[in-house]
Structure 1
């Protein structure tokens, strides 16, 4: 892609739209558009999809009344790299309507469809890489938990050991951020929320994150805010994730508006209850918990061989002065971070069952609770796949709280555009 292409598109757009209309559509001020026209500064290649969208009529000049939601929804959003829908659930709780979903993993898609039985009008597509940005429905908020393995501590270590590239050099996953960027460029949502691991901040000595910020702020023209939030405020799990929030215009958004409980819950609050009060879920039956015997199914207790191996492994590293080993968890604990590899041995979170008993893994239902999913959330896949899915998911109540503080600013941006009834107003909704 060359700079000539967006400049030519800009010239075509100027034959039909004013500088003010174009500036509103691409999220820049009029002076910037004027400088592009004069050749004083190059027209960014990233804007080509947005300009094509404008020329093809997907954003049209009218009274601003083309925006539509159903069922009384307050805003429309798209769910990219959706996983099992943890971010979606948080934004639906604040009145949002999901109009498009992308998730490439078949097992995650199965769980997603089971819990979000959208009608035929809702598109759930696979790999976003080959999907045309202009075909993504118009929306107010873009959500994207783009893959974190290239940036996570475990992911980087594994790729280094295998001699493979990581970060943006990882062509299969690291560059997926740019697919988020091209959709933002084409559709110009009022806001976005991106989620990733804390290590994204420090990856490649901060250069990776600098590229992300430069793309979102300088190339796309969004006001960007980011913060690392620990999920333990809402669930009994230490889980730090970076959240990147962006708005198409100036706002008074502040992370200080978050309501983060000072004392979060403890592990005992999400464990199966053996006192007879464990709810009988018709979609679980006795899969995870034997209600007649009032106990967790025995298969979740570690075998003697695995428990011996984990103890020896931990002792070997203790002797070497390392901190590696299993993480024993008690009812009053806040656990380590649940990972996608939990299905292998469960070592990061082992539930204590007494001195005379071997510890056990969390059941998939307990993992769902640990991530903040309600018991109405269905688990239609195998335990192995369920562990992977919850280990890759988000702490849903964190998403719900971030959606809460984002919503007033999204509504303000939309309200500023909607009432303009003159030909100067651009509706971004087809």
Structure 2
């Protein structure tokens, strides 16, 4: 019924506003409106909100359904009484969304450019993310426009891609002092979008994730730029505040059966820090989880195992390249996984040849992880929707955060902010 509602609202919108037909962000605007009764990019379209409200009322009457009935059909429906609002940037398939929602959060804005990931996000959470975040933060976008387009929120979350940073020697304070501008060290990089939104919207916490190597990238200058940008974000502007920067390098192997090491950053607005003190990351202690436990949890059948078994040609190619690369002490190697240890890091290109994690099989070539086993290795629930086609599914999981890790950090953030969580994410078996 939910997807029928979105189709109904889209048809009603196009009938009333023909100029919006084919608009790249129409589905994003409608789905966000359904959850928040708020327009973002199309706030200036006179009469659109009223038209959507009328169409929603007609649909409910025709279906004899309440608003709660409709949202209740989502695999992960919103919290009945959310404790705080957050935005989900570079959203992927919604690992931050799941983790923050379980801890009482309400996602009021999401953005993701990959079309396949956007479909997965919609299938699970009922929102189509907006596309390129530069529509909201890029050159020529004023602070007033950004402020009106992006809803207020307490937590800004995003696992931004790491791109080379330029002008590393320029201080953020000097750059932020420019008129109209946010032409800082991060211009041209996707972290720039996070920084600009944080500057304008001033959330209490900015919660980011990236590869562990971001700390040492470019001799540490990249990380220094990120830290300095957040610590000097106000640029001395009246009414704006700086952020205190905290980070931790965290290995996921005690939460899931995957050795995935990532850098997590939590930036606390200075007035909150003055009240609460330093943010402390949770500790991830205990024994690592064996890969065989994830395989058992996934319940892989013999037929599935056969489907994912690699060919003689591919396996021989792995063997030959491994021997050559070991001899010259450079390049990748491909070995069968040790099932008593966590898997290696699963990357977006895993579907190409599976070399990062090959499951040994008695009397047969090794096999790749099944898509469902990947789901388990990233901590997504049983009823999480993902593509059946292998290539996009591997890519989406390989680009994802590990949900249990982000969930524990999210819990620490809500505790730090003294947010009382009464009713977290509602999980529907679908």
Shorter-chain TM-score bucket reads: 0.5 to 0.7
Bigger Rg, structure 1 or 2 = 1
Aligned pairs, number: 305
Rate the CA distance shift 1:298–1:239 in 2: closer, same or farther, 3 A.
same
Residue equivalent to 2:392 = 385
Output the CA distance in 1 between the equivalents of 2:317 and 2:284. Answer: 39
> 2:87, 2:110 within 8 Å by CA — same for their partners in 1?
yes
What do residues 210-254 of structure 1 show as CA deviations (whole Å, max 9, x unaligned)?
Answer: 111111001240111011101112111111111110111213344
> 1:150, 1:170 within 8 Å by CA — same for their partners in 2?
no
The secondary structure found in structure 2 opposite 1:107 is helix
Rate the CA distance shift 1:114–1:149 in 2: closer, same or farther, 3 A.
farther
1:90 aligns with 2:93: no
Residue equivalent to 1:223 = 244
Output the CA distance in 2 between the equivalents of 1:412 and 1:300. Answer: 45
Residue equivalent to 2:377 = 370
Residue equivalent to 2:259 = 238
Residue equivalent to 1:345 = 353
Output the CA distance in 2 between the equivalents of 1:389 and 1:84. Answer: 7
Output the CA distance in 2 between the equivalents of 1:338 and 1:217. Answer: 33
> 1:253, 1:406 within 8 Å by CA — same for their partners in 2?
no
How far the C-alpha of 1:319 sits from its partner, in A, is 1.5
Q: Which moved more, 1:128-137 or 1:343-352?
A: 128-137
How far the C-alpha of 1:199 sits from its partner, in A, is 0.7
Residue equivalent to 1:147 = 161
Output the CA distance in 1 between the equivalents of 2:328 and 2:92. Answer: 38
> 1:80, 1:144 within 8 Å by CA — same for their partners in 2?
yes
What do residues 351-395 of structure 1 show as CA deviations (whole Å, max 9, x unaligned)?
Answer: 0112x2100000111111111111111113521001111111011
Rate the CA distance shift 1:148–1:351 in 2: closer, same or farther, 3 A.
farther
The secondary structure found in structure 2 opposite 1:359 is strand
For structure 2, which runs of at least 5 residues remain unmatched after alignment? Answer: 1-77, 137-144, 166-183, 235-241, 421-430
Scaled by the length of structure 1, the TM-score of the pair is 0.67
Output the CA distance in 2 between the equivalents of 1:126 and 1:141. Answer: 20
Residue equivalent to 2:277 = 252
Residue equivalent to 1:111 = 120
Output the CA distance in 2 between the equivalents of 1:170 and 1:210. Answer: 11
1:184 aligns with 2:179: no
Residue equivalent to 2:174 = none
How far the C-alpha of 1:72 sits from its partner, in A, is 1.0
Rate the CA distance shift 1:70–1:260 in 2: closer, same or farther, 3 A.
closer
Give the one of 319, 327, 342 matched to 1:319.
Answer: 327
Give the one of 128, 131, 143 matched to 2:133.
Answer: 128
Rate the CA distance shift 1:215–1:233 in 2: closer, same or farther, 3 A.
same
Output the CA distance in 2 between the equivalents of 1:388 and 1:352. Answer: 22
Residue equivalent to 2:75 = none
Residue equivalent to 2:364 = 357
Output the CA distance in 2 between the equivalents of 1:138 and 1:243. Answer: 23
Give the one of 270, 290, 297 matched to 1:266.
Answer: 290
Rate the CA distance shift 1:388–1:70 in 2: closer, same or farther, 3 A.
closer
Aligned-residue Cα RMSD (Å) equals 2.4
Residue equivalent to 1:208 = 222
> 1:340, 1:391 within 8 Å by CA — same for their partners in 2?
yes
Rate the CA distance shift 1:327–1:394 in 2: closer, same or farther, 3 A.
farther
How far the C-alpha of 1:87 sits from its partner, in A, is 1.2
Residue equivalent to 2:16 = none
Output the CA distance in 2 between the equivalents of 1:300 and 1:141. Answer: 40
> 1:86, 1:394 within 8 Å by CA — same for their partners in 2?
yes
